[in-house]
Amino acid sequence: MSLTVAYLGPAGTFTEAALHQFELGEVAGIPVSSPGEALDLVRSGKADRAVVAVENSVDGAVTATFDALVAGKRVQIYQETSLEVAFAIMSAPGMTGPQTITTHPVAYQQIRKWVEHNLPGVSFMPATSNAAAAQMVAEGKADLAAAPAHAAEIYGLDILHNQVADVAGATTRFILVGPPGKPTPRTGSDVTSVVFTLPNEPGTLVDSLQEFAYRGVDMARIESRPTRTEMGTYRFYVDIDGHLDDPPVAEALRALYLRAKELIFVGSWPVEGRTTRHDEQKLRAANTWVARMREGQ
């Protein structure tokens, strides 16, 4: 039986390409128009998994994904993959004198300087995805699209320029999201992600982050997003090096739970190039010492 996976569509997006980098076996893709829609299909049980972009090396966090991760019933990250991203500039056959170019707003930030230099006077039109941009050109709603080269084949367009990117080697990180469950097993090269809110009191953020520092747990990333419930209140999104099964990570999260108004576990999963820096031999010795004290030894 195939796995149903929601992704930012239509066919031909970088997200669809990222989907096929995960080893999921037989997959039935469900193209949707936003990260929020993809995650909502998982929440409703209409999709087994969702693949969404979470970060790119040029423009940073994909805020629509960050907001969608906590906008409803809990979902969980199980894997991630990265994709090198460069764009093809495409048009309908015979097009001359382009006035507009369309692509996803996040993608536009990765080609903006190239467009300003090579297509002066051409106006930007936002699209819901890069492949949707190609579809808009095929339908005559825009003159040019910046999209994966494969989208030109799908929509019968001509590629005018290929491998366009303001920053060579730019990458986008994609996550595989599903319903809550047992985390992906520890590999020793893992990341754990949580989202939390704090009491509106002086020093609460510093004190909370110190819980990681006290235990030698490195933070790989921290972002803040408005809660959208009250002015001046924020959710903090934190990725930390290590797995929930690593004792220092578990202890730090336990301490954070005691400080936070709300703490949401987003997942523990393997990430290439991450190594946990915990001295496991010393940790085992510490656990043995505590056990001996409990026994009066």
Q: How confident is the model at residue 277 (pLDDT cuts 50, 70, 90)?
A: low
R_g of the chain computed on alpha carbons: 22
One-letter identity of residue 230: E
> 66 with 77: CB under 8 angstroms?
no
Specify the higher pLDDT residue, 78 or 233. Answer: 78
> Residue 175: is its pLDDT beyond 90?
yes
Sheet of 87-91: strand order equals 123-126, 100-103, 144-147, 87-91, 158-164
pLDDT at 278: 65
Q: What is the pLDDT of residues 51-107, one digit of tens each?
A: 999 998 888 889 999 999 999 999 999 999 999 999 999 999 999 999 999 999 989
Cα 14-139-97 angle, rounded to 5 deg: 95
**pLDDT over 70, % of the chain:** 97
Q: Which of 15, 102, 172, 197 is catalytic?
A: 172
**pLDDT over 90, % of the chain:** 79
> 170 with 131: CB under 8 angstroms?
no
> 178 with 47: CB under 8 angstroms?
no
What number is the average pLDDT over the span 204-219? 93
> 104 with 126: CB under 8 angstroms?
yes
Average pLDDT, the chain: 93
What number is the average pLDDT over the span 266-291? 80
pLDDT at 283: 73
> 83 with 17: CB under 8 angstroms?
yes
229 has catalytic annotation: no
Cis amide prior to 199 (ω within 30 degrees): no
pLDDT at 276: 66
Q: Which of 38-47, 56-65, 176-185, 270-279 has the lowest mean pLDDT?
A: 270-279
Q: Which of 14, 66, 174, 212 is catalytic?
A: 174
What number is the average pLDDT over the span 181-186? 96
What number is the average pLDDT over the span 195-218? 93
Tell me whether strands 234-241 and 76-84 are parallel, antiparallel or unpaired: unpaired
Model-level pTM? Answer: 0.87
pLDDT at 32: 96
What number is the average pLDDT over the span 167-173? 91
124 has catalytic annotation: no
Q: Distance of alpha carbon 235 from its chain centroid, rounded?
A: 16
Domains of the chain: 1-84+171-181 (3.40.190.10), 87-164 (3.40.190.10), 182-297 (3.30.70.260)
> Residue 47: is its pLDDT beyond 70?
yes
pLDDT at 1: 74
pLDDT at 171: 92
pLDDT at 275: 64
Give the 3-state DSSP-derived string for the chain, with helices as H, strands as E and coil as C: CCEEEEEECCCCCHHHHHHCCCCCCCEEEEEECCHHHHHHHHHHCCCCEEEEEEEECCCEECHHHHHHHCCCCCCEEEEEEEEECCEEEEECCCCCCCCEEEECHHHHCCCHHHHHHHCCCCEEEECCCHHHHHHHHHCCCCCEEEECHHHHHHHCCEEEEEEECCCCCCEEEEEEEECCCCCCCCCCCEEEEEEEECCCCCCHHHHHHHHHHHCCCCEEEEEEEECCCCCCCEEEEEEEECCCCCHHHHHHHHHHHHHCCEEEEEEEEECCCCCCCCCHHHHHHHHHHHHHHHCCC
Among 124, 131, 160, smallest CA distance to 147 is for: 131
pLDDT at 91: 97
Largest CA distance in the chain: 86
Q: How confident is the model at residue 288 (pLDDT cuts 50, 70, 90)?
A: confident
> Residue 280: is its pLDDT beyond 80?
no
What number is the average pLDDT over the span 268-278? 78
pLDDT at 249: 94
pLDDT at 281: 75
Among 246, 202, 194, smallest CA distance to 219 is for: 194
pLDDT at 87: 96
